[in-house]
């Protein structure tokens, strides 16, 4: 008898609880107040701290989208060209991302990796000669290219960045860099002073005069040797000495006389 009463009371109690929970829901309990350790860990989390992509030169984390630094003056200082074939397309994307992040770590403002037009190389050869010449085979190769421009960077920093990329070169990815140097107007005047210019000019004049003197001495020696050889052989020397053989007589110049005209015959 007691067991039946208990079974009859339990369902009615459960139904009353369900109806009250559905009609008037109780608000959830408030969260516990943050402790000192929780607040310190939250403040030190890099995900919650705002990060400026233009002012900070810290490299972009791997799990985030890369944001290059914005140029300040817009001076184009270098261009990096990367290329790879179809088999190394994944390596090209990886190394391009690596070059962009390393440039940001060095504080170099860059553009995004621009995809240049893909060039296709195609060759057609016959499979077999003679009667099977109509059966041909195609061999093609596609080259994928990327370009990265660098702005407002110091010359030494740009060269250090290119040297680092050459050191960490990826197999299957080709690189070609073109960088520009800027100089102020009149920067060559500080390289060589006026005194050094005068010394170089004087040194050049002395060298030229010494060279002319050496050539004159050499020519005089050759003429003397030729005169001695001609005197020994009994031939007239080119300079014309006293011991030379008598020269051939020169024919005299004939004088023309004017002849009177003959009288006309009648």
Residue 247: pLDDT band (50, 70, 90) is low
Structure token digits, residue 264:
């006309």
pLDDT of residue 5: 36
| Alpha helices for 24-76 (secondary structure H) | 36-44
pLDDT of residue 185: 83
Higher pLDDT, 71 or 32: 71
Residue 78: pLDDT band (50, 70, 90) is very high
Burial class (CB in 10 A: 0-12, 13-18, 19+), 206: exposed
Residue 89 maps to a domain: yes
The CATH number assigned to the domain holding 161 equals 3.30.70.600
In the β-sheet with 136-151, what is the strand arrangement from edge to edge?
114-126, 136-151, 76-85, 174-179
Residue 35 maps to a domain: no
Residue 166 maps to a domain: yes
- Reduced to 3 states, what is the DSSP secondary structure of residue 86? helix
Residue 91 maps to a domain: yes
Q: How far apart are CA 89 and CA 143, in angstroms?
A: 9
Residue 37 maps to a domain: no
Domain that holds residue 106: 76-116+144-184
Residue 266 maps to a domain: no
Taking only the tens place, the pLDDT of each residue in 160-217 is 999 999 999 988 999 999 988 888 887 777 776 667 767 767 676 666 777 777 888 8
Residue 151 maps to a domain: yes
Number of domains forming the structure of the chain: 1
Residue 18 maps to a domain: no
């Amino acid at each position: 008898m007691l067991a039946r009463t208990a079974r009859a009371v339990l369902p009615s109690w459960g139904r009353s609880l369900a109806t009250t929970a559905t009609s008037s829901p109780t608000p959830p309990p408030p969260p516990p107040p943050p402790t000192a350790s929780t607040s310190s860990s939250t403040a030190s989390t890099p995900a919650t701290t705002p990060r400026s992509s233009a002012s900070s030169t810290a490299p972009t984390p791997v799990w985030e989208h890369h944001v290059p630094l914005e140029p300040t003056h817009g001076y184009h200082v270098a261009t990096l060209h990367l290329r790879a074939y179809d088999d190394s397309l994944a390596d090209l994307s990886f190394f391009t991302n690596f070059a962009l992040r390393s440039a940001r770590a060095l504080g170099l403002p860059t553009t995004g990796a621009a995809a240049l037009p893909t060039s296709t190389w195609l060759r057609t050869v016959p499979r077999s000669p003679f009667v099977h010449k109509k059966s041909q085979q195609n061999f093609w190769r596609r080259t994928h290219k990327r370009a990265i421009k660098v702005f407002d960077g110091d010359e030494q920093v740009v060269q250090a960045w290119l040297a680092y990329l050459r050191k960490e070169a990826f197999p299957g990815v080709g690189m070609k860099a073109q960088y520009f140097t800027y100089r102020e107007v009149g920067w060559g005047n500080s390289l060589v002073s006026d005194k050094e210019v005068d010394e170089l000019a004087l040194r050049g004049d002395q060298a030229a005069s010494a060279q002319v003197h050496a050539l004159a001495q050499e020519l005089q020696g050759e003429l003397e040797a030729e005169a001695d050889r001609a005197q020994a052989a009994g031939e007239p020397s080119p300079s014309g000495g006293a011991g030379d053989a008598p020269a051939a007589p020169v024919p005299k110049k004939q004088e023309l006389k004017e002849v009177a005209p003959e009288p006309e015959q009648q």
